[in-house]
Amino acid sequence: MTRNATNPPGEKPPGTVGKSEGLDQDHHNVGGGAAMSDVTNEPCVFVTAQRKATEIEGALQRKGVRVEHCPALLTTPVEDDPRLMATTRHIIESSPDFVVVTTGRGLRGWLSAADAEGCGTELRETLRGARIVARGAKALGALRGEKIPVEWVSHEETAADVGRYLSTLPLEGRTVVVQHHGTGSDGLDELIESRGGKSEPVVTYRSDPPSDSEPLRNSIRAAAHGGAIGVLFTSASGSEEWLALMSETDRAQIERATRTGETALFAVGDVTAAPLVAAGLSVRVPSRFRLGAVLTLITRWASDLRTPTMETTS
């Protein structure tokens, strides 16, 4: 079952999310006319992820789905950057009041780099002595794996939600460490400073657009043209980069193609889907926000395309 990204947690209506009503889990066209299963082209899915791309592509190809890789962002670890260790030692010495952990991957990379430099134990002790805020389930899982107590976790998994919580805390004169995700702090550093706190950013990896954007542009052209085309997104920043490359004409054509079923956009969760939904596009989101669930959704979509049936609604 898919669910609407705009519905409150716990409500799981079927169908796509976004401006148009889209198609429900049984692939009938709620707008009337021919169903999506009338498209007879061989399904092709463009994968915008870099991380786990091999795993994703292998899983889809084993189900007979043709895959094109078009990473929206390339992630570069910075564990060997001497600035990271300098920042880490300063944090250990200063004993921060709050620590915001935005990604599990970033936390694990940070601790691994500290271990390599011989200060991993001290860093863990420092984190256990601070009030910890986690931006979502993956950050929470990484913290629990290190037995680091967590004061609060954002179930929305957004920086905006974390910011709202930070705004309720006594930040004036306090030091707040913010572990940046690949594309920055999403305004958390500025919010902390505006409330009289001192922000201490920690960058454990960076995400930048690829030097060759042609594969990603090709996915936009294919989505705009339609015809058994799927595009998979695994991060909000990847969704934003895809949108940034398209023209208004592209967006309008993709909106039409997703509405008619010629193109299907898939997102691993509501947070990933949000930029696409805000742009007026219909997005298919699994009821469980997990990679395996969205791959199952794609596999069923592709299977339906291979067995066309004429369905109409009155």
Tell me the three-class secondary structure of 30-93, residue by residue.
CCCCCCHHHCCCCCEEEECCCCCHHHHHHHHHHCCCEEEECCCCEEEECCCCHHHHHHHHHHHH
What is the torsion angle, in degrees rounded to the nearest 10, for the CA atoms of residue 211, residue 216, residue 220 and residue 223?
180
Helix (H) or strand (E) holding 144: helix 137-145
Q: Based on the fold, state whether residues 56 and 96 are members of the same structural domain.
A: no
Q: Tell me the three-class secondary structure of 193-243, residue by residue.
A: HHCCCEEEEEECEEEECCCCCHHHHHHHHHHHHCCCEEEEECCHHHHHHHH
The answer to whether residue 9 is domain-embedded is no
Amino acid 102: pLDDT: 92
Residue 198 φ/ψ, nearest 5 degrees: -110, 120
The answer to whether residue 4 is domain-embedded is no
Distance linking the first and last C-alpha atoms of the chain: 24
Domain range for 272 is: 36-73+210-306
The answer to whether residue 16 is domain-embedded is no
The answer to whether residue 7 is domain-embedded is no
Q: Based on the fold, state whether residues 286 and 186 are members of the same structural domain.
A: no
Q: Based on the fold, state whether residues 90 and 201 are members of the same structural domain.
A: yes
Helix (H, G, I), strand (E, B) or coil at 295: helix
Last residue in a domain, options 164, 192, 207: 207
Q: Based on the fold, state whether residues 233 and 300 are members of the same structural domain.
A: yes
Q: What are the structure tokens assigned to 312, written together?
A: 């109409």
Q: Based on the fold, state whether residues 196 and 83 are members of the same structural domain.
A: yes
The answer to whether residue 49 is domain-embedded is yes
- Interhelix angle 53-62/291-306, rounded to 10 degrees, is 30
Helix (H) or strand (E) holding 294: helix 291-306
* pTM as predicted: 0.66
Total of domains in the chain: 2
Last residue in a domain, options 207, 229, 262: 207
Place of tokens 């037995």: 147
Q: Based on the fold, state whether residues 156 and 96 are members of the same structural domain.
A: yes
Amino acid identity of residue 158, one-letter, is T
CA 292, distance to chain mean position in Å, is 14
Q: How far is CA 239 from CA 87, 113, 286, in A?
A: 31, 29, 17
Amino acid 36: pLDDT: 38
The answer to whether residue 94 is domain-embedded is yes
- Report, in angstroms and rounded to the nearest whole number, the Rg of the chain calculated over CA atoms: 21
CATH assignment of the domain containing 122: 3.40.50.10090
Residue 229 φ/ψ, nearest 5 degrees: -105, 130
Residues in the chain, total = 314
For residues 97-128, one letter each, b for 16 or more C-beta atoms within 10 angstroms of the residue's C-beta and e for the rest, the string is bbbbbbbbbbbebbbebbeeeebbeebbebbe
Q: pLDDT tens track of the chain, all 314 residues?
A: 444 343 333 333 333 444 433 333 433 222 222 333 344 468 999 999 987 888 999 999 999 899 999 999 887 777 667 888 999 999 999 999 999 999 898 899 899 999 999 999 999 999 999 999 999 998 999 999 999 999 999 988 888 899 999 999 999 999 999 998 765 557 899 999 999 999 999 988 777 899 999 999 999 999 999 989 999 999 888 999 999 999 999 999 999 999 999 999 999 988 889 999 999 999 999 988 788 899 999 999 999 887 755 444 44
Q: Based on the fold, state whether residues 202 and 217 are members of the same structural domain.
A: no
Closest C-alpha among 136, 134, 140, 108 to residue 269: 136
Q: Based on the fold, state whether residues 196 and 99 are members of the same structural domain.
A: yes
